[in-house]
Amino acid sequence: MIISVASGKGGTGKTTVAVNLALSIDNVQYLDCDVEEPNANIFLKAEITEREDVTVEIPEINYDRCDFCGKCADFCAYNALAVVPSKVLVFPELCHSCGGCELVCPRDAIKWKKRPIGKIEHGSSGSTDFYQGILNVGEATATPLIKALKRRMDKDRIVVLDAPPGTACPVMETVEGSDYCILVTEPTPFGLHDLKLAVEVMKHLSIPFGVVINRDGIGDDRVEQFCNSNRISVLMKIPHDKRISTLYSRGVPFVKELSGWRERFRKLLLSIEEGVGNDFR
Ligand code: SF4
Ligand code: SF4
């Protein structure tokens, strides 16, 4: 079963929920797909035992064949190619490795070379099998690295995908194919605004979803009203509690220290598995 944990905006406690959920389940696989800023391992503290570079393929011009006709640059929708009188300029960061330029080249003048975009690290923490993607600084697109990371999924286990924040392509890439998505939000006008966007993404991708309200007690009850009036399950409320914040600041997941929470996360998982969004208020 694949459970992704997402949020319409950063800083809502998405990784907190994903980590505490994972630590409440035996034999889980955790993939930190927030590749621009992976931080789950601050809390999981997995010992990294493997590192692997991730590359994408970009065009390389064979000047023995190229006649600078310009057809490749005309075709490229991403402006990753420009043809000048005696050179074909390749802009690696813009290339989406679609392969189209090779198809349209009449002189078979395009070959491929690998370009590193980041790495995948693997390790374990107790019974949690941990992976994280780390995108190289300055890379424009995270989706190829997230794709590579998701190829490590072991679908015979429970897989927790820690999605990037927001609702852009890296989030779509992460949550696509999930059996369920937990949307983490906070009870503020900003939280509600971004939750609404995230809900639209889930509907568009036809992924079942429910909501966890983090820092319950701040703000107002409009997130809950929105969920109730749209028949969206509020799976859990995590209170705005100084003990939780203090543990967070020390890099300690609160299920390890505060009694009762491991059981609540297990119940949350059970409700997801049963296809019923229970209410744990
Ligand atoms: S389409 Fe082929 S031959 Fe034409 S400019 Fe591009 S690489 Fe050169
Ligand atoms: S592979 Fe696709 S995106 Fe990259 S340069 Fe060729 S046409 Fe453009």
Q: Which domains are delineated in the chain? A: 2-54+125-273 (3.40.50.300), 63-108 (3.30.70.20)
The 8-class DSSP code of residue 229 comes to: H
Strands 128-135 and 28-32, bridge-based pairing: parallel
Tell me if 223 sits within 8 A of 192, measured CB to CB. Answer: yes
CA-to-CA separations, 197 to 35, 165, 167, 171, 173, in angstroms, rounded: 21, 12, 7, 12, 16
CA 103 to centroid of ligand 1, rounded, Å: 10
Mutation to probe ligand 1, out of 64, 83, 103 (largest number of atoms < 8 A from CB):
83
Ligand nearest to the CA of 104: 1
279: confidence class by pLDDT, cuts 50, 70, 90: very low
Pocket of ligand 2 (CB under 6 A): 59, 75-76, 78, 80-81, 95-101
Give the amino acid at 183.
L
Q: For the chain, report the end-to-end CA distance as a whole number of angstroms.
A: 25
pLDDT in tens, 154-210: 988 999 999 998 888 999 999 999 999 999 999 999 999 999 999 999 999 999 999
CA 82 to centroid of ligand 1, rounded, Å: 10
Pocket of ligand 1 (CB under 6 A): 61, 66-72, 83, 88, 105, 107, 109-110
User: Could you tell me where the beta strands, DSSP code E, fall in 126-254?
Assistant: 128-135, 158-162, 180-185, 209-216, 234-239
pLDDT in tens, 57-81: 999 999 999 999 999 999 999 999 9
Query: Bridge-partner residues for 30, per DSSP?
Result: 130, 160
Mutation to probe ligand 1, out of 107, 111, 112 (largest number of atoms < 8 A from CB):
107
**Other CB atoms within 10 Å distance of the CB of residue 74:** 11
